[in-house]
Structure 1
Amino acid sequence: MNSTKDIIVGAVLALVVVMMVLPLPTVFVDLMIALNILISLILLMKSVYISEASDFNTLPTVILITTIFRLALSITTTRLILLNGDAGNIVSAFGEVIIQGNIVVGAVVFLIITVVQFIVITKGSERVSEVSARFTLDSLPGKQMSIDRDVSSGFLDADAGREARLELGRRSEFYAAMDGAMKFVKGDSIAGLVIMLINLVGGISIAVLYRGLTVGDAAVIYSILTIGDGLVSQIPALLISIASGTIVTRVSDGTSNNLGSSLFSDLTSNHTALYISATVVTLLAFAPGFPTLIFLSVGAIVIVPVYLSGSKPRRDSTEDEEDEKIWSEVIDRSVYIVAESLCDCEVEISTREYEKLQGKEFNEEILRIKDRMLSRFGYPFPRLKFSDHANMKDYNVVIKFNDIPDTRMPEVDLSAHTYYRIESRNILDGVEDYRFLPLSYVEGYIVYFEKGKSANPLPGEKPITFQDVLITLVEDSIMRNSGKLYTIEEAKGLMLKAAEHYSVVTAEIEKNLPLVSINNFLNHIISEKVPIVRFELLLNDTAKIVSSEKDPLAIAEKIRHRMAPYIVNFFISKYGGIPAYILDKSVTDLVKSHIVYIDDGPTISMPLDKVAEISTAIRKVQQNAMMMGEELILLAPTEIRYPFYSFLNARGLNHTMLATREIDSPQRLINRGVVKL
């Protein structure tokens, strides 16, 4: 199909050459004139039904082709007029209709059409194209940086960012091409005037000198042909000029509305202006000598529709669209709620629970999670997908990152349990038979009771819904896996954004550290929940470190030490202190004796029986922490903190591990126990 279209375009260009070189029969010329008019009308209608200029990105090329086609057609008709005194039925008909027996009137009408096209429409469109091209190109670097910032801050994902850059490039190329294309239209107008003079003077001269006609007779014949030929060329050119002007003067309003919708929306948006205008026109009906009926009719045409539309309750269309969008995002199957970073997080929900979700409210809560992540930690938000599964047997909720299950929740069953969200564990004093949902990074606690054991286990507290539980689980899981969300794309965007305000510091870092290493050390600190909200502080510390240290892991550990107050502050605000389990000497000695150093940094390699022994000890304290509704926090010597953290994390033992030097005051520590073998 594409090859056929290419052949058609090639055939048109070949036809242009034939029309310039070879004499053609008048029937064929009439066909080409009709085709020229048809193409100009198509372009005019196309200009009305596009939402913004760059939607018709082939317009500059179309203007070039149609201009060449019209000039070739003018050459053909000029040859016929001068040789035969006959350029076909369409040319004669145009001339006779316009002149109607009066050559002067015909000439004046033709000149008016030409002047309107050349001075008004073409000149204005040319100026708009010129200014648009200049401002579009001047603003290109700033818009590119803005897109990079949106990608880095999580407002756009990589695919959307790439599409935005392509659209920006298409827009700039379009206006640059239109700046040149409007010169074709302007030149075509000038050529039309010149060809008209050639036809008139040349035709009269040939008729008098070679055909024996009088000057008067020759003037009548060739005036009709010349004006007709000029009109069949200038009217399509005028239509294309109007189409080009309509397109380049469009200002996008961010919607997909075409010209008619946007025009009527803008003109009728202010009823007061319409009432005043219609009143003035109506009053003119009573002025002496003015046609009363016509002015009253025009005034009524405006006032009646405006009055009727104003009497109906109106709702902002953008609100309707937003409501529809929000509801469809949740109710439709397998729909992305937000699409913002490169990593996917999928939340699978059993159908019976999925159908209970409240569309708009649910989506707003998800967006609040994003705001909390950015404000508290400065982390990107994942591309989040909610889907329902009718055949989920063992779980009501499964949260996956990169298709790997992270959180499975069989307990979320409102038919068997009652759930409460509490801010303090003190509320549970004297209460029995409760359990905590395991939460690590969400403030407060979720406790649940088996239904039937107590009619009102927590007086004064209101039970929460499945939707509330789900939102809390999603937030905690995203926070726990935030290190997986940070890619080289995000690291680059973050550095570009930082360079706008801290150019010297970012230049120093990039001079000493490649982007991959920057991303690696950011991954290290984010995976351990080191806040990067105060990114300028992190940049300053990093710039001091990278001059002498190039290893991403070592950089991350030094940054972590400097950012320690921000790390421990989160746990202090959540628990009132740092509820930690201290490693016994037997554990630290075992870990130290099995640390080995590889290219990626220190790691632990120990026999399977020792791995099982340590894992059992950690699971024991992990169960204790879960029973208290707390995250497992381990306190380890600085030299083994990172390798031991990675060792446990690789075995699915989720925890936070602090170094002893990161606790600036022993009074902040809440000793929950000792990890022993």
Structure 2
Amino acid sequence: MATRDFSILLGVILIVVMLIIPLPTGMIDFLIIVNISIALLIILVSMNTREPLQFSIFPTLLLLVTLFRLGLNVSTTRAILGNQGDAGNVIDTFGNFVVGGNALVGFVVFIILVVIQFVVITKGAERVSEVGARFTLDAMPGKQMSIDADLNAGMISDSEARERRKKIEQEADFYGSMDGASKFVKGDAIAGIVIVLINIIFGLVIGMVQEGLPLAAAANKYTLLTVGDGLVSQIPALLISTATGIVVTRAASEGNLGHDVTKQLFAYPKMLYVAGGTIALLGFMTPIDQFVTTTVAIFLGVGGFLLDRNEKNTQILEEPDGELEEQEEDMKSPESVVNLLQVDPIEFEFGYGLIPLADANQGGDLLDRVVMIRRQLAIEMGMIVPVIRIRDNIQLQPNEYSIKIKGNEVAKGELLLDHFMAMSPGVDDENIIGIETIEPAFGLPAIWISEEYKEQAELSGYTVVDPPSVVSTHLTEVIKRHAHELIGRQETKQLIDHLNETYPTLVEDVTPNPLTTGDIQKVLSKLLREKVSIKNLPVIFETLADYGQMTKDTDLLTEYVRQSLSRQLSKQYTVEGEAMYVITVSGAVEKMIADAVQQTEHGSFLNLDPNSMQSIVESTLMEIERIQETGHMPVILCSPAIRMYFRHLLERTVPQVPVLSYNELEPYIEVQSVGVVNGP
């Protein structure tokens, strides 16, 4: 344990000791000076912080200091009443020297200090803490949404977003703690008043009864000591209360309190002329001593002149010529060119007619939907979706939008914001009139209908969705379709680092030896290309650790990983309680493909003649159309040896149809063959 930590623990123990064990007067004098020093230190720190969170320990510190001061009050009261008035040098000095030995004056000064602290500073700080806590908690949802919007717009990075969210949570905790801690300050002020009254009353009783002093002597002796004790206690308490008010009323700024006060109070030099003239006029028109008023007026006038001259000099230095020179330097710097080379991973652009879709002031919730899309894909696919940059584009049609992946357009669509998209259940209702269109995510026929037909369409079995849901679904499907392009080495490294936090040994067995980050990225990309979730990274890495020593062929490693994810794949392509309807590959076709596989030092590839390839693809398409007519999802099932090559064969024509091997299905899955792929 560090020495500083030990000293804090020792201080807390000392507080308990003060409450129980009588302390010698020398120790009391020392602790009183320490109390005043701590109070001075706290108020100076509070004045030099730029924002409340820089002094986040203040609520806890406030409680400890208040407890320390109350413990000190108990010790001083015990010394005053129990040592026949011998309470130490500090209390005696405050009682005699500070107030001139006049108990009545000292008592009045003490009452004034208490009134200032209790009625003005403490009550105000308590109210500000309460309101600050309430408004901070009320503003949290809006601040969180603002951070998500900035993150999705690409204005901040993920790390900056995490820091800003953490700061918002800390602010809420801080103001909540200050709201409670300010009650201790209020209670301390009340306790100070009660302790003074107790000391005076019982001091009179002890002086007259036990010491045999006359009433006047007893009153003078114990009242002076009590007032001295009250002053040495209330002055630090007043400083702490002031520090509390400063902290809770402090807004974030670029400087400390002294910097902000001088900068903002003297921001208008001409106002000093007005104030100086008013003071001078007051001296001439009233019996107030003109020497005093004239001196103050001269100081204000000179100060205004100096500030005014300094401001003019600053404006000369900040002329537009200087700004132009700075801009020219920026244009000449290489960074200005480098920034233009930035290519965003995902861009969503829209015409000016779709601005209400993204404008929160017009009720648009596109930014919130993008946040949910990124979270949904992280849960479903296990990938970190990059920040989606959203911007308007006047080159697009008013109701048109475009989705780009790494600078290239991969999808586009058109929305009618005042309509709803309705997709037919198979039997059209002639009473529902609309504008024919194509659902952009899945290419299904649909119509745009006005709101008056919405209820009727829903009753007729149509699937009716609003424009924001249409574009959200489209964006989600596009990202899924191109997920393998979005996971690069940097994103793979992030996933590896995240896995390393919980499975360090597993990661160590896989990378950097035998597999590099690039090898792992290729495996993950191949899985995502066939819409296989990579969320179960531990299983993937276990497989890579087992087979990475045997081969560096990423295609082969991907096949091993797929077999390890058999339970996941089986669940992905089956409906609970139903059989899996599959199209199998005939033995002749499997033998033809296996014989056409060519092995090279860079991997293996399928070397099949064009006519045979065309015949196999046509046979597969015919079987897929036939099974789709029955309402079932087509799945192609083949042997593990040719699965990868058969998938490559169909990738350009039907990339959305899954190709599974027998080893990728769990034994309990009921498989029903409804078609066979035959060759030439």
State the match for 1:555 in structure 2: 477
Give how far 1:556 is off: 2.6
State the match for 1:170 in structure 2: 170
- Residue 164 and residue 314 in structure 1: after superposition, are their counterparts in 2 closer, same or farther (change >3 A)? farther
Q: Is residue 517–residue 552 contact of structure 1 (8 Å, CA) maintained in 2?
A: no
State the match for 2:296 in structure 1: 298
Give how far 1:173 is off: 1.1
The 2-side partners of 1:551 and 1:119 are apart by 60
Does 1:601 pair with 2:613? no
Q: CA RMSD in A?
A: 4.9
Give how far 1:39 is off: 0.4
Structure 2 counterparts to residues 181-580 of structure 1, below 5 A? 181-253=181-253, 255=254, 257-312=255-310, 313-315=312-314, 359-361=329-331, 470=337, 475=340, 477-479=341-343, 482-483=344-345, 501-502=364-365, 506=369, 514-515=377-378, 525-527=404-406, 529-530=408-409, 555-556=477-478
Give how far 1:149 is off: 1.1
| 2:408 partner SS | coil
- Residue 296 and residue 158 in structure 1: after superposition, are their counterparts in 2 closer, same or farther (change >3 A)? same
Deviations along 1:135-154, whole A, 9 cap, x unmatched? 00110111011111111111
The 2-side partners of 1:532 and 1:279 are apart by 72
The 2-side partners of 1:17 and 1:81 are apart by 20
The 1-side partners of 2:272 and 2:104 are apart by 42
Q: Is residue 87–residue 225 contact of structure 2 (8 Å, CA) maintained in 1?
A: yes
- Residue 520 and residue 125 in structure 1: after superposition, are their counterparts in 2 closer, same or farther (change >3 A)? closer
Q: Is residue 136–residue 172 contact of structure 1 (8 Å, CA) maintained in 2?
A: yes
The 2-side partners of 1:211 and 1:90 are apart by 23
The 1-side partners of 2:175 and 2:19 are apart by 31
Q: 1:530 is aligned with what amino acid?
A: E
Structure 2 counterparts to residues 99-138 of structure 1, below 5 A? 99-138=99-138
The 2-side partners of 1:500 and 1:28 are apart by 67
The 2-side partners of 1:40 and 1:554 are apart by 58
- Residue 362 and residue 181 in structure 1: after superposition, are their counterparts in 2 closer, same or farther (change >3 A)? farther
Q: Is residue 91–residue 225 contact of structure 1 (8 Å, CA) maintained in 2?
A: yes
The number of residues matched between the two structures is: 435
Deviations along 1:509-559, whole A, 9 cap, x unmatched? 969964466879999952362289999789985677799999999933999
Does 1:640 pair with 2:502? no
Q: State the TM-score, normalizing by the size of structure 1.
A: 0.55
The 1-side partners of 2:375 and 2:130 are apart by 44
State the match for 1:405 in structure 2: none
Q: State the TM-score, normalizing by the size of structure 2.
A: 0.55
Q: 2:293 is aligned with what amino acid?
A: F
Give how far 1:172 is off: 1.4
Q: Which runs of 5+ in 2 are unaligned?
A: 349-356, 389-402, 422-438, 445-462, 483-525, 532-554, 556-592, 608-649, 656-680
Give how far 1:17 is off: 0.5
Give how far 1:271 is off: 2.5
- Residue 241 and residue 127 in structure 1: after superposition, are their counterparts in 2 closer, same or farther (change >3 A)? same
Q: Is residue 133–residue 172 contact of structure 2 (8 Å, CA) maintained in 1?
A: yes
Q: 1:501 is aligned with what amino acid?
A: G
Q: Is residue 374–residue 385 contact of structure 2 (8 Å, CA) maintained in 1?
A: no
- Residue 553 and residue 221 in structure 1: after superposition, are their counterparts in 2 closer, same or farther (change >3 A)? closer
The 2-side partners of 1:261 and 1:101 are apart by 40
Q: 1:78 is aligned with what amino acid?
A: T
Q: Is residue 124–residue 245 contact of structure 1 (8 Å, CA) maintained in 2?
A: yes
Deviations along 1:199-242, whole A, 9 cap, x unmatched? 11111111211221111111111001111111111110001111
Q: Which runs of 5+ in 1 are unaligned?
A: 328-356, 367-385, 387-466, 487-493, 561-596, 614-637, 644-677
| 2:301 partner SS | helix
State the match for 1:348 in structure 2: none
Give how far 1:82 is off: 1.0
Give how far 1:309 is off: 3.2
The 1-side partners of 2:479 and 2:129 are apart by 55
Q: More displaced, 192-201 or 311-320?
A: 311-320
State the match for 2:46 in structure 1: 47
- Residue 102 and residue 520 in structure 1: after superposition, are their counterparts in 2 closer, same or farther (change >3 A)? closer
Q: Is residue 22–residue 78 contact of structure 2 (8 Å, CA) maintained in 1?
A: yes
Deviations along 1:474-520, whole A, 9 cap, x unmatched? 63x533xx33899xxxxxxx999899724799499969964466879
Q: Is residue 95–residue 103 contact of structure 2 (8 Å, CA) maintained in 1?
A: no
The 2-side partners of 1:42 and 1:478 are apart by 49
- Residue 483 and residue 110 in structure 1: after superposition, are their counterparts in 2 closer, same or farther (change >3 A)? closer
Does 1:23 pair with 2:35? no
State the match for 1:649 in structure 2: none
State the match for 1:9 in structure 2: 8
| 1:176 partner SS | helix
Give how far 1:195 is off: 0.5
Deviations along 1:630-655, whole A, 9 cap, x unmatched? xxxxxxxx983898xxxxxxxxxxxx
- Residue 535 and residue 272 in structure 1: after superposition, are their counterparts in 2 closer, same or farther (change >3 A)? farther
| 2:285 partner SS | coil
- Residue 139 and residue 557 in structure 1: after superposition, are their counterparts in 2 closer, same or farther (change >3 A)? closer
Q: Is residue 545–residue 555 contact of structure 1 (8 Å, CA) maintained in 2?
A: no
Q: Is residue 80–residue 225 contact of structure 2 (8 Å, CA) maintained in 1?
A: yes
| 1:285 partner SS | helix
Structure 2 counterparts to residues 54-133 of structure 1, below 5 A? 54-84=53-83, 85-133=85-133
Deviations along 1:370-412, whole A, 9 cap, x unmatched? xxxxxxxxxxxxxxxx6xxxxxxxxxxxxxxxxxxxxxxxxxx
| 1:286 partner SS | helix
Q: 1:165 is aligned with what amino acid?
A: R
- Residue 151 and residue 205 in structure 1: after superposition, are their counterparts in 2 closer, same or farther (change >3 A)? same
Deviations along 1:580-599, whole A, 9 cap, x unmatched? xxxxxxxxxxxxxxxxx987
Give how far 1:99 is off: 3.8
Q: Is residue 152–residue 367 contact of structure 2 (8 Å, CA) maintained in 1?
A: no
Give how far 1:130 is off: 0.7
State the match for 1:407 in structure 2: none
- Residue 29 and residue 639 in structure 1: after superposition, are their counterparts in 2 closer, same or farther (change >3 A)? closer
Q: 1:302 is aligned with what amino acid?
A: L
Q: Is residue 521–residue 556 contact of structure 1 (8 Å, CA) maintained in 2?
A: no
Give how far 1:13 is off: 0.3
State the match for 1:423 in structure 2: none
The 1-side partners of 2:160 and 2:374 are apart by 29
Q: Is residue 121–residue 245 contact of structure 2 (8 Å, CA) maintained in 1?
A: yes
Q: 2:194 is aligned with what amino acid?
A: V
The 2-side partners of 1:507 and 1:135 are apart by 28
The 2-side partners of 1:504 and 1:73 are apart by 57
The 2-side partners of 1:512 and 1:542 are apart by 22
| 2:194 partner SS | helix
The 2-side partners of 1:273 and 1:28 are apart by 52
